[in-house]
Amino acid sequence: MPDSDEPRETVADIGEFGLIGRVTAGRRQPATTLLGPGDDAAVVAAADGRVVASTDVLVEGVHFRMDWSTPEHVGRKAIAVNMADVAAMGAVPTALLVGLACPKSTDAGVAEALAAGMWQEAARAGAGLVGGDVVAADQIVISVTALGDLEGRAPVTRGGAMPGDVVAVCGRLGWSAAGLAVLGRGFRSPVTVVGAYRAPEPPYPAGPQAALAGATAMIDVSDGLLADLAHIAEESSVAIDVRTSLVQVHQRLVEVASALGADARHWVLTGGEDHALAATFPDPREVPDGWVTIGTVGRGGGVTVDGLPYEKPPGWQHWR
């Protein structure tokens, strides 16, 4: 972006197609992209014959703040939250379509940095940015649609958990919630904790890995572990019990919680936006490496913690 004493180039100055050209020129696409940006629509290979698709919308002031995150962080987050959903179906992310709405006064460098973060996160999962749209709006809104390939496997839905299964997770839990709490107090460190809020790092390969291992149900932990496990419990008509003795609470989170007067275990159980994966497996011996068993599936309904209802809010809910 230009220095503060230089004239500021805005997205209005370079125009819709000028911006699209800047953020797509010279970018490499994976082999699954048969036709990328530049035409009326993209063409993406679907060797499996089925396409997994998911969409999320991020709104400035609700899902991110530019005074808390860099544009690159926001771009990475916008991509991560979508590809995590694809991975949670047991699929490999292949392509992304991005819609960007922003005020005409938006610094062109901000828009380019948003795109740079998107390309960076897409490359981490081996997916391509194949198209999208840019429009004028009163605030920054990012809409992303992610596509994925099941590679011949059946999708792993939320509705397949069975009594007798075990519950396991892969990825970080509680870190983003801790980072949000730190930023909300006006601090910018510890960097590792704040960074987890700014740009989550979903374990994309763990989704297909779980599917190959026989996972019966799976979900992206976006709103909080207990809240998202409740979706599996409801869709599968089962009861899920989480054992706190099995849930790992990183010492760094304990330290931050102590400094803020908060509860690190509550962050882990209910904090959203880490985009870890939670899944159920028929046998503890079938849980893949990198996954941690944290509970059991039984008959009945709902989610309990150590056999009892959790007395605090189980996670994030919109409009509440």
Does 255 carry a binding-site annotation? no
93 burial level (CB within 10 Å; 0-12, 13-18, 19+)? buried
What is the predicted pLDDT for the residue at 320?
46
Does 296 carry a binding-site annotation? no
Does 306 carry a binding-site annotation? no
* CATH architecture classification, 166-305: Alpha-Beta Complex (3.90)
What is the predicted pLDDT for the residue at 263?
97
Does 223 carry a binding-site annotation? yes
Is 87 in contact with 204 (CB distance < 8 Å)? yes
Does 273 carry a binding-site annotation? yes
What is the predicted pLDDT for the residue at 3?
52
State which H helix or E strand residue 309 sits in.
Answer: none
Q: Which residue has the tokens 């008959």?
A: 299
Does 316 carry a binding-site annotation? yes
Where in the chain are the domains?
11-149, 166-305
**What dihedral angle (degrees, nearest 10) is formed by the CA atoms of 67, 71, 73, 79?**
130
Q: What totals of helices (H) and strands (E) does the chain contain, helices first?
A: 9, 12
- CATH superfamily of this structure's domain 11-149: PurM-like, N-terminal domain (3.30.1330.10)
Q: At what angle do helices 108-125 and 71-88 cross, to 10 degrees?
A: 30
Does 132 carry a binding-site annotation? yes
What is the predicted pLDDT for the residue at 316?
63
Does 299 carry a binding-site annotation? no
| Helix residue spans in 46-107 (DSSP H) | 71-88
What is the predicted pLDDT for the residue at 317?
56
CA distances to 123, 136, 215, 279 from 145, in Å = 16, 19, 25, 23
Does 55 carry a binding-site annotation? yes
| Helix residue spans in the chain (DSSP H) | 11-24, 71-88, 108-125, 175-184, 191-198, 206-212, 225-236, 251-260, 264-270
User: What is the mean pLDDT, run by run of 10 residues, along the chain of 320 residues?
Assistant: 66 76 82 82 86 94 94 97 97 96 95 97 95 94 96 96 98 97 95 96 98 98 96 98 97 97 97 96 96 98 97 67
> In terms of DSSP bridges, do strands 141-149 and 92-102 run parallel, antiparallel, or are they unpaired?
antiparallel
Question: 285: which DSSP letter?
Answer: G
What is the predicted pLDDT for the residue at 27?
84
Q: Are 11-149 and 166-305 in the same CATH fold?
A: no
